[in-house]
Structure 1
Amino acid sequence: MRTRTRSQERILTILKILNQAISAQDLYIELRSREQSMGLATVYRALEALKLEGMVQVRTLPNGEALYSLVKEDRHHLTCVQCGNSIPIDQCPVHDLEEQLHESYRFKIYYHMLEFFGLCTQCQTENE
């Protein structure tokens, strides 16, 4: 395992404190508000390195925004393509598949995501 930079350690600390997914831009603002300022490019580089190390996961929303969080558990969502509301779901039908893929391909899996896209009940009502 490689040694983490000070920037990476700061980002990991903030992600632990926040305990939720956050965009790189919002993370940059959060660091500045805590007087731990670093450049936005540094934030992106540190997040990328942490992602490659398997410490941070990224979830891309339908609008293209990337949200970063610590790898704790697999995330699954129902996401509305109209309003962007995202509802977490607890069941995971792919854990067995993950094990099979690991065994068959010797692929080191850090995490997986399962996301369904459609219309939430509020947007369905508005569209009628």
Structure 2
Amino acid sequence: MKIRRTRSQEKILDLLNSQKRSLSAQDIYVELRKRNQSVGLATVYRALEALKLEGLVQVRTLASGESLYCPPHQDKHHLTCLQCGESIPLGECPVRDLEERLHAQHRFKIFYHTLEFFGLCESCLQAEKSV
């Protein structure tokens, strides 16, 4: 069964697929407005929620509470500094094999996963030592 998507959902998917970075709902709203595609901020949030439930967008929540969205095929993982907020992408996925095993073992359809380590970056560690 194919689920029909709204025009707003299609616009958001097209935008996210054209980006190399994750975007917040606010960023998506601004980018759509720049492209003369009128859509309200509440509509963006509703569309993102629906797309997330279909497994078509991946959401990553930062330490600040802000949510970032990207297509699930981007599969990026991060080291995030709790002090300055710097987010360092990891170049590999250390849990891909685990995802496949969990899918097979539990017959659970996994749309995506996130992996984020929180701590202090080198700069913040150095600043902390000098105090």
State the one-letter code of the partner of 1:95.
Answer: R
TM-score normalised by structure 2 residue count = 0.92
User: Deviation string for 1:53-79 (max 9, x for gaps)?
Assistant: 111000000000000011114221111
State the one-letter code of the partner of 1:37.
Answer: S
Q: What secondary structure does 1:88 align onto?
A: strand
Which position in structure 1 is the counterpart of 2:118?
117
Unpaired segments of 5 or more residues in structure 2?
none
Unpaired segments of 5 or more residues in structure 1?
none
Aligned CA RMSD, in angstroms, stands at: 1.1
Q: What secondary structure does 2:115 align onto?
A: strand
Which position in structure 2 is the counterpart of 1:78?
79
Return 62-71 or 100-109, whichever deviates more. Answer: 100-109
TM-score normalised by structure 1 residue count = 0.94
- Number of residues of Structure 1 aligned to a counterpart in Structure 2: 128
For residues 93 and 31 of structure 2, the distance between their equivalents in structure 1, rounded to whole angstroms, comes to: 32
Q: What secondary structure does 1:19 align onto?
A: coil
Structure whose residues are more often strand by fraction: 1
Q: CA deviation at 1:91?
A: 3.0
For residues 16 and 74 of structure 1, the distance between their equivalents in structure 2, rounded to whole angstroms, comes to: 13
Return 52-61 or 67-76, whichever deviates more. Answer: 67-76
Q: CA deviation at 1:51?
A: 0.8
Alignment map for 1:19-30 (pairs within 5 Å): 19-30=20-31
